[in-house]
Amino acid sequence: PDAGAGLAEAEGNQQWKWKTRVKGIVPSDTAVYPAQDMCSRCGLCDTYYVAKVKDACAFIGDGMSRIDSLEEEVHGRQRDLSSPDEVTFGVHEHMAFAKLRPGVEGAQWTGIVTTIGVEMLRSGMVEAVVCVQSDPEDELKPKPCLAMTEEEVIAARGVKPSLSPNLDVLAEVEARGIKKLLFIGVGCQVQALRSVEKYLGLEKLYVVGTNCTDNGPREGLEKFLEVTSSNPDQVKHYEFMQDYRVHMMYKDGVTCEKVPYFCLPADQLTDVIATSCYSCFDYVNGLADVVVGYMGVPFEGPDVPMTKHFQYATVRNEKGREIWDLLRRTERLVEEPCTREGTRQDFVKQTLVTDDDVQMGSKKSSPLPLWIGNILADVLEKIGPKGLEFAAYSLDYHVLRNFLLMYRRLGKERTYQHMPAYAKKIVESEDYRDVVAKQIAKG
């Protein structure tokens, strides 16, 4: 794991010279990255910033526990662990259900993220936007881009559902002399970015994050689609939705295939998710200025397409407010107060035990036939947690699942070294400590 450590030491006192001396790793199928199998291919090590990997990487040394102190640096305070909503969603001053009307054609949802990028460029708030277009030869493969025009930002709309080396454009940011930048990315990328922010020579950095969980390499996507979809070649993107179904949007932009979670062969899918994502405790992208996702919004029904559906936004700090005010000025933003319904804890425990037993191989997953899966999904949608409570269900479950997987792989000490305080608080909470202990005792 210390390929970058030698480089960092070599830096010595000569503040900036390392940028000319250090070479990034050349990406390839056989390249070994400092975080080894935990690497999320965030792109940092593909640049001379590999020199800073020991302090910046979300998966080396203190890893994601550094979010605790970075929150203080970025937002002026850590999340308030006595506030249940801050434990779950991170530091915030404002949360809302939001959508654009009209939306952006071809966007993942209503295109809030794309529109923020476009408006920030148009208003001069930033000179460039780091975003993710598609590889010209493979629509589903992410290709990070330093967008200097509105057209380039619009071309990046839509999620390319696999690990993306967004930070590999950092050297280009400096080479082009960019001073005001918007970075769009997921939690592990944002953590590394925040850690090297001081070396970038920027006057202003804005960060718009998306929620992110259970990501994986491009190759794994093929397997996921093959076992999940009846037309794997046609799928452009997919989401695990609040109606307990995976919605797979086809390339025609119209057809949406829906498969209940309970019909998926879970035991065939454990290697589709990257080890980094099984070790991730930053689903909510705690270090971004604004975060946009969908899982905190009640499902509006099968007749409302994702492109007209509410999303949810978390505005964390003053820069986030600047961004959100700019979006409001478009007069296309529809905002509603967040709602929640139900209680999540029993659902979390049930999902955790079922899933963890399959992960350990002590139980074979038994996918339900489609019609039974649909009935179950309908029932759960009626009686299960909704709105922010559904998001909290998903967040708690992922923290607990990842804790158990990491604990078995690396032991308690290493796992605790890596986990932020809020994640430890969830694992140790009265709600979950018994079920966690029970699963650990199983092996």
Q: Is 295 in the site for ligand FAD (CB under 6 A)?
A: yes
Rank residues 290 and 333 by Cβ distance to ligand SF4 and give the closer one: 290
Rank residues 78 and 311 by Cβ distance to ligand FAD and give the closer one: 311
| 1-28 as b/e: b if 16+ CB within 10 A | beebeebbeebeeeeeebeeebebbeee
H-only helix segments in 124-169? 150-154
Do 38 and 276 touch, CB atoms closer than 8 A?
yes
What part of residues 231-260 is at the interface with ligand FAD (CB under 6 A)?
A: 239
225 binds, among ligand FAD, ligand SF4, none (CB under 5 to 8 A by kind): none
276 binds, among ligand FAD, ligand SF4, none (CB under 5 to 8 A by kind): ligand SF4
Distance in Å, CB of 143 to ligand SF4, minimum: 16
Instruction: Give which of 331, 218, 214 is closest to 279, Cα–Cα.
Output: 214
Of 40, 65, 88, 110, which one interacts with ligand FAD (CB under 6 A)? Answer: 110
The rounded distance, in Å, linking the Cα atoms of 136 and 150 is: 19
Q: Which two tokens stand for residue 14?
A: 């000569």
Torsion of CA 66, 73, 421, 417, to 10 degrees: 20
Q: Is 439 in the site for ligand SF4 (CB under 6 A)?
A: no
The rounded distance, in Å, linking the Cα atoms of 289 and 194 is: 11
List strand residue ranges (DSSP E) for 14-154, in order.
94-100, 128-135, 138-147
List strand residue ranges (DSSP E) for 276-338, in order.
290-293, 311-315, 333-336
Classify burial at 343, counting beta carbons within 10 Å of its beta carbon; exposed 0-12, middle 13-18, buried 19 or more: middle
Q: Is 192 in the site for ligand SF4 (CB under 6 A)?
A: yes
Rank residues 3 and 326 by Cβ distance to ligand SF4 and give the closer one: 3
What part of residues 111-170 is at the interface with ligand FAD (CB under 6 A)?
A: 111-114, 131-132, 142, 156-162, 164, 166
Distance in Å, CB of 250 to ligand FAD, minimum: 16
Rank residues 239 and 282 by Cβ distance to ligand SF4 and give the closer one: 282
Rank residues 57 and 207 by Cβ distance to ligand FAD and give the closer one: 207
| Strand pairing report for 128-135 and 180-185 | parallel
280 binds, among ligand SF4, ligand FAD, none (CB under 5 to 8 A by kind): ligand SF4
Distance in Å, CB of 84 to ligand SF4, minimum: 22
Residue type, 342: G
Q: In the chain, what is the greatest distance between 2 CA atoms, to the nearest angstrom? A: 66
Q: Which two tokens stand for residue 273?
A: 């998710």
Q: Is 420 in the site for ligand FAD (CB under 6 A)?
A: no
323 binds, among ligand FAD, ligand SF4, none (CB under 5 to 8 A by kind): none
Rank residues 91 and 277 by Cβ distance to ligand SF4 and give the closer one: 277
Distance in Å, CB of 245 to ligand SF4, minimum: 21
108 binds, among ligand FAD, ligand SF4, none (CB under 5 to 8 A by kind): ligand FAD
Instruction: Give which of 276, 204, 269 is closest to 43, Cα–Cα.
Output: 276
Rank residues 386 and 398 by Cβ distance to ligand SF4 and give the closer one: 398
Distance in Å, CB of 255 to ligand SF4, minimum: 27
Q: Give residues with Cβ within 8 angstroms of 143, minimum separation 6.
A: 132, 133, 134, 135, 136, 160
Of 34, 63, 90, 185, which one interacts with ligand FAD (CB under 6 A)? Answer: 185
Q: Is 213 in the site for ligand SF4 (CB under 6 A)?
A: yes
Q: Is 210 in the site for ligand FAD (CB under 6 A)?
A: yes
Helices (H), strands (E): how many in the chain? 17, 13
Q: Is 48 in the site for ligand SF4 (CB under 6 A)?
A: no
Eight-class DSSP state of 406: H
The rounded distance, in Å, linking the Cα atoms of 317 and 313 is: 13
Rank residues 374 and 394 by Cβ distance to ligand SF4 and give the closer one: 394
Q: Is 166 in the site for ligand SF4 (CB under 6 A)?
A: no
Eight-class DSSP state of 369: P
Binding site residues, ligand SF4, CB under 6 A: 33-35, 39-42, 44-45, 53, 56-57, 59, 163, 186-188, 192, 212-213, 215, 276-277, 280, 282
Binding site residues, ligand FAD, CB under 6 A: 104, 107-114, 131-132, 142, 156-162, 164, 166, 184-186, 210-213, 215, 239, 292-295, 311
